[in-house]
Amino acid sequence: MKSPHPASPWLAEFVALAAIWGASFLFTRLGATEFGALPTAGIRVTIAALFLLPLLLLRGQVPALRAHWKKIFFLGLLNSGIPFALYAYALLSISTGLSSLLNATVPLFGALVAWFWLKDRPHGMKIIGLLIGFVGVAMLASGKASFKPNASGLVTGWAVLACLGACLCYGLAASFTKRYLSGVPSLVVATGSQLGATLGLALPTLLFWPATMPSVNAWLALLVVGVLCTGVAYVLYFRLIDKVGAAGSLTVTFLIPVFAVIYGVVFLGESVTAWMLICGAVILCGTALSMGLFKARA
């Protein structure tokens, strides 16, 4: 007889992962306001690498990293270094809620990249989902993106483009991983990519280091985003892939904005408009369709 709660063994980890990744926007914002975008990203990946490296050593997977280090280090820049810096830059100008809604387009970019690069052409409802998702992005950007300084002197248009650029990087990284790193242990890819991103961001981090030493709170924010939102999140994510598969794990994208919006409202006093919620719903529906999550049943 089947258990009445078959999802319970992994559901807690699924929700925890969404809550952790949702918090990454909050802590990145807190760190970036004092460190700046590039040092924030550099410190984040360094802390994550230091957290993951002992796990790699304990599992004896260093030889696998040595065998694939060039591709994995490049992946680190594409999947962590560049997008983390772009989000840190964006969060200096736009809210955590808006940036998390834009982050929900990652599967859309992933599907497009896979289509053009891997010739993994979507069909039927998946194509409609892509169109709906990007219409939602256009709706959201039209109301929030401006290339003229606002009352605070901020230019939100570049921040929105930075978020979308980060999502494109994630989409490229997914196809790169599938093409060149299939079969490589997940912990090897996770640890090696953080090491690669650390090396790639080392010089920019030093060059753009803030003139005034950041506060203890800013350091703690980056410690949390490095250990919890990157290191621990990777471990949870790969555990989830083992339990429910890659497609099922990607649905965590739908929960992340919920937590990010709540954190932004509670801890930063951010406002959420009805238009943001409507556009977010359009984006999420389009993403769900593009991932094939809505299927007709007999």
- Domain of 96? 8-290
CA–CA separation, 21 vs 13, rounded Å?
A: 12
298 inside domain = no
Tokens for 266, please give them. 């509670």
The rounded distance, in Å, linking the Cα atoms of 158 and 147 is 7
In a domain, 194, yes or no: yes
Range of 10-19, 68-77, 96-105, 155-164 with top mean pLDDT: 68-77
Residue 149 forms part of a structural domain: yes
Could you tell me if 176 and 80 are in contact, meaning their C-beta atoms sit under 8 angstroms apart?
no
Q: Would you say residue 131 lies in a domain? A: yes
Whether 40 maps to a domain, the answer reads yes
What integer pLDDT is reported at residue 287 of this predicted model? Answer: 79
- Tell me whether residue 277 is in a domain: yes
Residue 296 counted as domain residue: no
Distance between CA atoms of residues 39 and 92, nearest Å:
13
pTM of the model: 0.87
Which pLDDT does position 13 carry in this prediction?
86
Query: Which pLDDT does position 240 carry in this prediction?
Result: 78
pLDDT(36) > 70: yes
* Helix (H/G/I), strand (E/B), else coil: 181: coil
Share of the chain above pLDDT 90, in %: 50
In a domain, residue 235? The reply is: yes
How big is the CA angle at 49 (ends 43 and 54), to the nearest 5 degrees? Answer: 140
Secondary structure (DSSP) of 39-87: HHHHHHHHHHHHHHHHHHHHTT-HHHHHHHHHHHHHHHIIIIIHHHHHH
Around 186, how many Cα atoms within 13 Å sit in the side-chain half-sphere?
14
| Closest to 100 in 3D by CA, of 41, 166, 52 | 166
Name the pLDDT band for 298 (thresholds 50, 70, 90).
Answer: very low
What's the confidence (pLDDT) of residue 245?
Answer: 63
CB of 289 within 8 A of CB of 134? Answer: no
- Mean pLDDT check: name the lowest of 49-53, 221-225, 281-285: 281-285
Domain count, the chain: 1
Q: Per-residue pLDDT tens for 186-220?
A: 899 999 999 999 999 999 999 999 999 999 999 99
Residues 6+ apart with CB under 8 A from 221: 27, 28, 30, 31
Answer yes or no: is pLDDT of 171 > 60: yes
Give residue-wise pLDDT tens across range 55-87: 999 999 999 999 999 999 999 999 999 999 999
Question: What 3-state class would DSSP assign to 10?
Answer: helix
> Nearest 10 degrees: CA dihedral of 191, 108, 263, 234?
-20
Q: Would you state the pLDDT for residue 296?
A: 45
pLDDT confidence band for 295 (50 / 70 / 90): low
- 107 contacts 286 by C-beta, under 8 angstroms: no
**pLDDT score of 2 more than 80:** no
pLDDT at 211: 95
